């Protein structure tokens, strides 16, 4: 495990000392802050509408009910935005992990060291996972702001259990995308090809749910099960559900195994 941690530390250091990670941090912070401000504005407008309508919340459409509190009206909706942004940034975070080693011809040198392929794969993945955690960590500032200065319908504070479960779901999604990106990165020397293919896979995964209504059983149930949106829906709303943990852990293990086979195959070529 010492070699694994050494590789992970090296990868994380490389990320944090190159512009790519900071560009991603900035993009994540900028995009999510725009949506955060828009959600706060919507929250304010809904509460102003409630004060002007006789009967209050009972007279408003169901879509407005989520805005009764800051957790559901702002944070839960914000996590949905972060989910989509992660779809775009994860491929660019994972693209360099092994593709760069091959492009710079250091992959062969790495293979001649006493480090085993599984240690290389796990080390690279943990380094990539660390930068995913840092990227998603940028968004924690928004619930903290709401906790300090925000108030819901009755002045109640944020439901931190809902906030943290949603954040855990985002980490599962980011970790799965990093595993997919690592595998694609092991197949090519081009970082851009790696990023584009990883993005295409993640985008296809996102579109799986849209195919379900037109399918017949049992294909419909299978497509709904494979949809990451269906898997994460409960966690993003603050409902404890172990199924996403099992599902995404299986995806991660599968792609790490595929990456290990890919690295091993290249070791003997």
Q: How confident is the model at residue 153 (pLDDT cuts 50, 70, 90)?
A: very low
Coil, strand, or helix at residue 78? helix
Nearest alpha-carbon partner for 18 in 97, 119, 120, 121: 97
**pLDDT tens, 67-104?**
777 888 888 889 989 988 998 888 888 888 888 777 77
Confidence at residue 154, expressed as pLDDT on a 0 to 100 scale: 43
**pLDDT tens, 214-225?**
667 777 777 777
Per DSSP, 216 falls in state P
H or E element that contains 192: helix 191-211
Q: What is the mean pLDDT of residues 107-126?
A: 80
Nearest alpha-carbon partner for 59 in 48, 49, 70, 72: 49
- Please report the beta strands in the chain, taking only residues with DSSP state E, as ranges in sequence order: none
Report for 46-50, 154-158, 210-214: range of highest mean pLDDT: 46-50
Range with the poorest average pLDDT among 1-10, 165-174, 232-241 = 232-241
Confidence at residue 108, expressed as pLDDT on a 0 to 100 scale: 67
Backbone angles phi, psi at 190, to 5 degrees: -90, 120
Confidence at residue 254, expressed as pLDDT on a 0 to 100 scale: 93
Q: CA–CA separation, 46 vs 207, rounded Å?
A: 31
């Amino acid at each position: 495990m010492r070699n694994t941690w050494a590789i992970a530390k090296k990868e994380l250091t490389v990320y944090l000392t190159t512009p790519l990670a900071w560009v991603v941090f900035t993009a994540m912070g900028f995009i999510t802050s725009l949506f955060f401000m828009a959600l706060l504005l919507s929250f304010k407008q809904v509460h102003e509408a409630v004060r002007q309508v006789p009967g209050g919340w009972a007279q408003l459409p169901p879509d407005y009910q989520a805005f009764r509190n800051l957790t559901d009206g702002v944070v839960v909706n914000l996590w949905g935005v972060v989910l989509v942004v992660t779809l775009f940034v994860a491929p660019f975070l994972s693209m360099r992990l092994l593709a760069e080693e091959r492009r710079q011809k250091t992959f062969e040198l790495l293979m001649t060291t006493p480090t085993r392929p599984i240690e290389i794969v796990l080390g690279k993945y943990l380094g990539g996972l660390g930068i995913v955690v840092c990227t998603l960590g940028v968004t924690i500032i928004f619930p903290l702001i709401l906790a300090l200065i925000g108030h819901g319908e009755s002045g109640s504070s944020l439901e931190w259990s809902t906030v943290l479960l949603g954040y855990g779901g985002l980490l599962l999604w980011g970790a799965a995308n990093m595993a997919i990106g690592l595998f694609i990165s092991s197949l090519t020397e081009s970082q851009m090809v790696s990023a584009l293919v990883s993005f295409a896979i993640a985008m296809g995964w996102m579109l799986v749910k849209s195919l379900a209504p037109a399918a017949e059983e049992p294909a419909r149930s299978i497509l709904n099960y494979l949809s990451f949106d269906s898997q994460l829906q409960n966690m993003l709303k603050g409902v404890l559900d172990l199924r996403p943990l099992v599902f995404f852990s299986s995806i991660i293990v599968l792609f790490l195994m595929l990456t290990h086979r890919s690295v091993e195959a290249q070791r003997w070529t």
